[in-house]
A and B are shown apart, each in its own frame.
Chain A
Amino acid sequence: MKHEENDLGIDRMIEQSTTSEVPPDVEASLRTQLADFRTRIEQSRPGRIESIVAGIRQSLGQYRNGIIGLAGAAAVVAVAVLFLNPGGSGEVYAAAAHRLQQARTLSYSIVLNSNPYVAVDFTHQAPGFQRLKCSWGMEIRADAVAGKTLILFHYSKQYIFGTEAEAKQLVRSADEAFEQFRSLPERADEELGEKSEDGKTFVGFRVRDNDGITDIWVDRASGQPDHVDITILASGKQVHQMKIDNIRLGEQVEIDGMDLEPPTDYNLVSETADQSGPARGGEQQLPPIVARIRTDPEKTVIVLGMSGPHEQHLEAIARVEAELKRLGVKPLGEPFGQYYNAASDPLPIWEVGFPVPAGVTAQAPFEVRHIPETLVAEADIVGPWGGDSSRRWGAFLRSVLEQGYAPAGPAQESWLGAEGTGAEQRTQMKVAVTKAQ
């Protein structure tokens, strides 16, 4: 009885404290929003892929929002693709869906097309935290509780803080995706049967949508969603292929990775600073770097994959040259290096190579790769090779973003000129890009 009275008291208190007529100006403002919403509903239905493209376009309008938005949108679409529409009719699917619903943490990688190479490693730690690590050396950590976003540029060892609104927006997107766990429909459009890879058996489910085909593969043994293949269509034609893999559910996420304090050796990007970024310890200021956007023609390259310190460059290039000599192949251009993470990473992953004529074949550890025509940004730095690459890459990436493009691949450098002639040496920076608008 006492509790019932108290319940009524609480309810009455909430009621009293929320009883308030909507002021006419607020009502008018919210009704305007509703009218816009209705138009939006009538004109288009949101497609998963449409959402990300719109998100990218919208978010790349401004430098800071752009970098957050791009990676954020990529992650959101991946989550959305995973959870908005997957259907399933079997117990395997139901079990996988249940695991997704119960997960408190979620991590996965997204790879958009194999070339140019784009990957985003996404970690969501409920409640309110998420982290995005992009293949082009950028990392975003958002904490909606503290209302902070930290963006790290690993190539240039720089950082900026996002606004509270940006943190809120990023994390809310992920939270919404988690909410979508509840919206799993009962049936998939198609069951794909089983396939075996690396000693594992996967059961596939296909979901079709106006803008794409999503194949979800569930590990038969563990019941975990293992990977998702997405074909993005436009006017019925395939325009992109996306893969989500390395899906980890409910795993402990390392706390350090969510730290919102930048590493001590990183410098704050000044929004009004010149493009060369801050010079350290008596270094000379770099001249402004303006990226050129152009289409790189298709080509064939031979590469040698490497890991470990970048000091091995000369040795690695010499090994490729020796292999080319052994094959009797003359390279078609200067050597280049391609970097999949920062030199400061515990285990730097990179490769060196040369452009070669089509039709060349090679044996491991060498690899011959065909690179299709690619939109790239590039810039040349005149002067001795080496030097502070982090500073020039910071300035270069900034120029790319300011021109309305987004990096869409790993960083690449070519070294032009001759050994020992520092004054004539040139370093060419290059990165695959996509147009934002």
Chain B
Amino acid sequence: MVDDSRRDYDALIRPIESQMIRSVWRITRNREDAEEAFQDALLAIWKAWRHIRRHPNPRALVLRICINCAHETLRQRARRSRREELGGIPETLADPSLSPSQQASDQEQHEEVMRAIGTLPRNQGQAILMKVVQELPYSDIAAALNCRESTARKHVARARAKLRTLLAHLFPSKAEEVASL
């Protein structure tokens, strides 16, 4: 029994351990949230372990669970900040390689992008994160979301469309682009 379980773990989880950690961190970028989301993810994986072992794409499913839990943390954060209107944004860790002004802008952008993703419907949010953060192909996203590949594409496309609207102000205008040349 232990040997079987070890083999399962080594086959399914070990090769993607770093990817799991990175996924959760890149979305939460906050130690407390990352730890909470990761714990939730591991609990969900443990509960669904039998199902994961039988799943046609177990690694995609595990990564989806990680994304799901991190995304859920984002959604909670988005709701919290909506409720509190101000001061509800958790402190994030800045990238030390950037200058203070870059750090501030980097943090702001991260917060804003993640908050926008946090407002997306669950499947769309997960799909866009799997696509961009985990760089999974549509076939894996579809397997993880248990839907057709075309549906997975639709989730991503709709997420992009909504994000285009929500984050329009972060895109440089044509005039700014020309000026920067």
Contacts and interface: CB of A to CB of B under 8 A. Distances in A.
A330 interface: no
B160 A6 contact: yes
A256 interface: no
Contacts, number: 127
A42 B24 contact: no
Interface in B123-158: 128-129, 131-133, 146
A40 B2 CA distance: 10
Contacts of A9: 171
Nearest to A19: B26
Contact of B39 (A25, A31, A33, A147): A33
Contacts of B79: 145, 147
B124 to A, nearest CB: 12
Given A14-B132, A168-B76, A37 B164 contact: no
Contacts of A146: 83
Contacts of A84: 50-51
Which of A10, A127, A180: most chain B CB closer than 10 A?
A10
Interface of B: 1-2, 5-6, 8-9, 13, 17, 20-22, 24-27, 29, 31, 34-35, 38-40, 42, 44-51, 54, 72, 76, 79-80, 83, 93, 95, 106, 109-110, 112-114, 117, 122, 128-129, 131-133, 146, 160, 163-164, 167, 170-171
A38 B20 CA distance: 14
Contacts of B49: 41, 45-46
Contact of A183 (B9, B34, B51, B114): B51
A259 interface: no
Contacts of A29: 31, 35
Interface of A is mostly: helix
A15 B22 CA distance: 13
Contacts of B29: 18, 20
A23 interface: yes
Interface string A36-59: 011011110110000100000000
B132 to A, nearest CB: 5
A33 B109 contact: no
Contacts of B9: 38, 41-42
A314 interface: no
Given A84-B50, A85-B50, A183-B51, 5 more contacts: A10-B167, A18-B132, A30-B35, A45-B50, A84-B51
B151 to A, nearest CB: 13
